[in-house]
Chains A and B, each alone.
Chain A
Amino acid sequence: MSTAALPNELARLLRVFASLRLTVVCLGFGMILIFLGTLAQVHLGIHNVQARYFQSLFVLWTPEGSRWHIPVLPGGYLLGAVLLVNLIAAHATRFEVSRKKIGIFLLHLGVILLLIGQLLTGLYARETQMRIDEGQTLGYAEAPREVELAVIDVSDPQYDQVVAIPEGALARGGTIQNPTLPFTINIKRYFPNARLTMRAQDPSAPPSLATMGFGANVVAAEIPRTVKDDERDLSSAFVELNGVEGSLGTWLVSNAIAEPQTVAVNGRSFALIMRQRRFYKQFALTLLHFAHDVYAGTEIPKNFSSRVRLVDFERGENREVLISMNDPLRYRGFTFYQSGFDNNDKTTILQVVKNPAMLLPYVACGLVGLGLLVQFSMHLFGFVRKQGR
């Protein structure tokens, strides 16, 4: 494509977007962003930094005590997008396809794929976890940093009927009505993270909003969300259930408490429980054995592995699989990695990842490597030939 065919203004704009100067500026900002984003991890934790620095259009700064959000740096998404435009524009205007440039062409194509892959990953990849005890069978994975309020109709001993309210709805507050429930749910307070103490230990605390369940004996105080990787928010909420005849009471629900609280309405019984958000699968895993090998005479871990049974009625699968470090199980678009363990080596923690863009980095890596190799070897051979003369 030639720029001559375009009107003047447009051609100039294209030239700006195609310029090497813009490339250098973007890469420079990229370095600053990554450097500051690394330092910020010391205080903010890796998840916060990812959201604020790298998966954002701008890095926002909020001065102490104000509600302003001032953009101070371009974020990862913005820089990535500009670089992408820059690359494509450069190839559209400056580069002519020739044998001499084939390396650069391949390399840039790889970079484009890498950028797109990261964008898609940021948007569509989902990381969840499965904690399975030895002998236990699990058909769902949990989101480690997201909760849901499950209202479970346990009246029928044959099956449960679950209504799950996502964290977003809890945070919005208000009243929630669902056609399968004989009551509405009014979210009175929601704490993304809370400290729960027994009332007996803190007698001077103001009275609880809760009138039913264990909530009356517990003091819940809101605290900031955790920034540490190895800690979990204790998300808690006060919810009031309203039947046709008025309030049934207010409960405190929290993922700190595993025990469900039950309420009977119209002869049906319901369990209320705040838990990590669940994603059900069409198949189930049973942990047969978890192994934790160490080097002789040391505590240094050599390998972690989980022997599991995979059962999928839909596809007629029923087999044993060994998941170990650096050797995951891939099944139906999900990848199960050995991530951790707990409970005196009796519980395994598997990371479950679904990433539709998973293959892009592999292709990109090949293209970039090939491109650099071709380009620089041409350069090197030319140099050696010249030197040899």
Chain B
Amino acid sequence: MKKSRPWILWLVLAGTIAFFLAPLGQRDRRDGFAMQKFGRLPVLLNGRIKPLDTVARNSLLIIHGKQSVALEKGALAPIDWLAEVLLKPSEANRRKIFVIRSPETLASIGRSDPTEKYFSFLDLTPRLQDIEQQADLAQKVEAQLRSPFQRDIIKLFERLTLFHRLENSIEVAGTKDFTGQIDDLVKNIRPNPVPMNSGISAEALQSLGFLAEVGYFFPIPPVPPHDDPLQWRKMGESLLQFLTAGNLHPAVKSWATLATAFAANDAETFNATVDSYAQWLQEHFPGRVRKAHVESVFNQLEPFYSALVIYVLIFILACASWLAWPQRLGRLAFWLLVVTFVVHSAGLITRMYLEGRPPVTNLYSSAVFIGWGAVLLGIFLERFFRNGIGAATAGAIGFLTLLIAHHLSMDGDTMEMMRAVLDTNGWLATHVVMVSLGYASTFLAGFLALIYIVRGAFTPSLDRETAKSLARMVYGIVCFATLFSFVGTILGGIWADQSWGRFWGWDPKENGAALIVLWNAIILHARWGGLVRQRGLMVMAVFGNVVTSWSWFGVNMLGIGLHSYGFMDSAFPWLIAFGISQVCFMIIGALPAGVWRSQFEGATVPRAVPAADPVEVG
């Protein structure tokens, strides 16, 4: 064995760490405005206190489908865009952020040129009524029966509505001098004994009511020392409250100054106000401010997206190690895997801290967590077998699950509040985590088997030793999968007994979990009974991928049952394609040994006597 050169390893690892941290180096792009600090201000939306930056990212994702707005030179960051929408709508209205691809939708807004896909709010304003009317008609059709045009027009209308609500969250869009308006209000209120607002015009009152109704998020925190999320207010609500109670919330003044300064391009006042407001928040809500800060840094780092990129690299390196320099490339892949796993874990832990919840709370977080679990097991496999297989599988599953997560995040905030029955950390931490680990290990076994089949059938690289170690890995992981999925499923039953009074109700998601348990049990019993040997084990493990993907996503697509959180018609073709691909691999796996490129003893020997003792198998 040649002595390996560790400096290459160190160099690559350092480069990777730099890659993960690089986003922190981004500077404010809007000249002179402290947009990063602005983005850290906490607001309340959908029941959760989050930084403005999160609101910006999720809204832009929903409206524009991307997390940045392309400009002629460079791009507009989400918070830069949101600042315009909130505080300077004249500019935001001209940004061509509404993407319309469907020819039918284009026709409904009176456009026929299919190359023109990008529209601004101003472009669409004259057609708002038509769009609303078409969307109303489409809404009357049951969700599953809607045509592509109907879905598209509803989506467009929702995007426009969201944009409109954002524009009217701080001030009525197009207000000239918000600070002046508020000064007028204060002047016209005579506080004692009962606040009187005789001097306030009907028009001004109406605009406050409009703000209170249309505003999208809640920028005004409770009056200290109160800190109940229920006491956050919309701008309009806080102002209306002021009219009756007579004391203006200090945050109102800050937001108004921000709006006026931003519209007047007065960076100095804007930055000073951001600083003083942040200071005020820090004094009264230190916990909330800390979380908002952590969340905005988390947003900026996008750890899962960076990890996704490195997982691909790991997969390629590990595969390459089977062709050349197995030692060096394998070691490199392993250490890259460890570093990426640390980043993946850090992201997961940050989410848990922000939500105050166990790791899995919805479909998005299940994807992140299943990837995490599979990578962890992959690291152990790589540590023991040192043949690149654990690293390759971990890289592949890490990449795929994070890709799925990335697509699931397109619908907006991934940290939603938990509906009543799910609002219990104990069960989320046990049942949901166990079942997710069951998914992760079943996938891991399936992907290991894919490596066996692909290497065996298409390359000469699968020798007896490798095949044997793969068989041991798959067998061991299936054991794990059985443990996790069985215990996880029964814990789910006990939760159901605690909440609904029945242990098992044949609900689709419960059935899906039971299918995974049964399939893993079948694999083990078939192996113990000698009904299958090495290759049969692999083919069966691949089918585990089909069963698990059905349980994870398929049952949600039926649109029935207690667990059908989110009907995802767009993912359906992908699920079918995945299922078909797995069946193809199973067929290849079942081909006669002579057709395979790898020829080795284990692949050709006749069926052996049944393994009598389960403990000895593998």
Q: A residues within 8 Å of B by Cβ? A: 19-21, 23-24, 27-28, 30-31, 34-35, 37-39, 41-42, 46, 49-50, 53-54, 100, 104, 114, 117-118, 121, 125, 127, 294-298, 300-304, 325-326, 328, 335, 337, 339, 351-353, 355, 358, 361-362, 364-365, 368-369, 372-373, 375-376, 378-380, 382-384, 387
Contacts and interface: CB of A to CB of B under 8 A. Distances in A.
A100 B522 CA distance: 21
Interface stretch (B135-143, B395-403, B502-510): B502-510
Contact of B511 (A37, A302, A353): A37
Contacts, number: 183
Given A42-B558, A295-B47, A361-B493, A339 B479 contact: no
B561 interface: yes
11 contacts: A34-B514, A37-B511, A46-B560, A117-B503, A297-B45, A300-B417, A326-B499, A369-B490, A375-B479, A380-B476, A382-B615
A297 B46 contact: yes
Given A302-B420, A337-B501, A362-B494, A372 B46 contact: no
Interface string B90-115: 00000000000000000000000000
Contact of A54 (B44, B228, B506): B506
Contacts of B514: 34
A97 B73 CA distance: 76
B487 A383 contact: no
Interface in B513-527: 514-515, 518-519, 521-522, 525-526
B486 A372 contact: yes
A326 B420 CA distance: 9
A353 B494 contact: no
Interface residues of B, number: 69
A121 B504 CA distance: 10
Given A296-B47, A296-B230, A302-B417, A351 B500 contact: yes
Given A38-B512, A302-B420, A20 B528 contact: yes
Contact of B518 (A31, A121, A127, A358): A31
Interface in B522-548: 522, 525-526, 528-529, 531, 547
Given A24-B526, A28-B522, A295 B482 contact: no
A46 B479 CA distance: 32
A300 B419 contact: yes
Interface of B: 44-48, 217-218, 228-232, 384, 416-417, 419-421, 423-424, 427, 472, 476, 479-480, 482-483, 486-487, 490-491, 493-494, 497-508, 511-512, 514-515, 518-519, 521-522, 525-526, 528-529, 531, 547, 555, 558-561, 610, 613-615, 618
B560 A295 contact: no
Contact of B47 (A300, A358, A373, A384): A300
A355 B613 CA distance: 39
Closest CB pairs A-B (n = 3): A295-B47, A20-B529, A353-B501
Given A19-B529, A46-B506, A368 B500 contact: no
B445 to A, nearest CB: 14
Given A325-B423, A372-B483, A378-B615, A38 B501 contact: no
Contacts of A117: 503
Contacts of B501: 127, 328, 335, 337, 351-353, 355
B487 A297 contact: no
Contacts of B531: 20-21, 24
A364 B217 CA distance: 48
Contacts of B421: 325-326
Given A38-B558, A302-B423, A295 B229 contact: yes
A114 B500 CA distance: 19
Contacts of B558: 38-39, 41-42
A38 B511 contact: yes
A30 B522 CA distance: 10
A382 B228 CA distance: 54
B500 A339 contact: yes
A21 B532 CA distance: 11
Contacts of B217: 297
A70 B490 CA distance: 33
Nearest to A350: B501
Nearest to A362: B494
Contacts of A301: 419-420
A63 B519 CA distance: 31
A38 B486 contact: no
Contacts of B423: 302-303, 325-326
Contact of A297 (B44, B502, B503, B519): B44
Contact of B487 (A23, A42, A49, A369): A369
Contact of A379 (B44, B45, B419, B615): B615
B438 to A, nearest CB: 12
Nearest to B482: A372
A20 B527 CA distance: 10
Given A28-B522, A298-B46, A325 B499 contact: yes
Contact of A27 (B503, B507, B522): B522
